[in-house]
């Protein structure tokens, strides 16, 4: 009869010798797939109403994905997954390339104020909706990730109204973003 310890060791050896195929998807792609299927709600959006339109994230998927990855709080992770593909964060656009270009511009150190106004407005709209429905500090985590995503995104966070984002942790992120403006 094997001892409990030797049974654990043999099961550990057998599981470590099995080889799994390496995942070819990035964390951002995995988050996109999860958010489109997990935490389903009545407000989940998946396909545009017209063939010429595409789903566009108000808060970029890359930012939400990093906020999701960089927290250990299950409630924050759940709120972010639920929000990512909701009607609060998805809009339909026939010009997704322009939105992607604004996102790239905001992540650079040489951003345009027009990108802050245009994309920042849709980000603020989505953040307000996340703020009003969240059961966690998800908005704080998203603000932190945005601040670290580029100077343009930092300017977007700096433009947020502290009368709307009243939690002390949200105000702290806005204050840090305002101090970081160059």
- The pLDDT tens digits for 150-176 are 999 999 999 999 999 999 999 999 999
Give the torsion sign (CA, 6, 10, 16, 20).
negative
> Residue 170 domain-assigned?
yes
Find all residues with CB under 8 Å of 138, minimum gap 6, and list them: 67, 76, 79, 80, 83, 130
> Residue 135 domain-assigned?
yes
> Residue 15 domain-assigned?
no
pLDDT at 36: 60
Cα dist. 4→9, 13, 15 in Å? 9, 14, 17
Domain with 33, as residue range(s), is 27-40+53-180
Rg (CA), the chain: 20
> Residue 7 domain-assigned?
no
> Residue 2 domain-assigned?
no
Residue 98: pLDDT band with limits 50, 70, 90: confident
For the chain, the farthest-separated pair of C-alpha atoms sits apart, in whole angstroms, at 73
Q: The pTM is what?
A: 0.74
Q: Per the structure, how many domains does the chain have?
A: 1
> Residue 45 domain-assigned?
no
């Amino acid at each position: 009869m094997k001892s409990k310890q030797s049974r654990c060791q043999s099961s550990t050896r057998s599981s470590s010798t099995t080889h799994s195929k390496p995942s070819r998807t990035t964390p951002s792609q995995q988050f996109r797939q999860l958010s489109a299927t997990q935490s389903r709600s009545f407000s989940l959006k998946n396909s545009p109403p017209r063939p010429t339109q595409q789903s566009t994230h108000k808060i970029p998927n890359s930012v939400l994905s990093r906020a999701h990855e960089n927290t250990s709080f299950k409630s924050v992770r759940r709120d972010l997954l639920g929000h990512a593909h909701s009607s609060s964060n998805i809009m339909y656009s026939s010009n997704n390339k322009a939105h992607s270009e604004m996102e790239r511009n905001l992540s650079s150190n040489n951003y345009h104020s027009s990108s802050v106004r245009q994309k920042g407005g849709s980000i603020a709209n989505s953040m307000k909706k996340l703020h009003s429905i969240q059961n966690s500090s998800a908005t704080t985590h998203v603000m932190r990730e945005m601040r670290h995503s580029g100077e343009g995104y930092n300017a977007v966070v700096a433009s947020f109204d502290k009368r709307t984002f009243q939690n002390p942790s949200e105000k702290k992120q806005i204050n840090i973003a305002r101090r970081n403006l160059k």
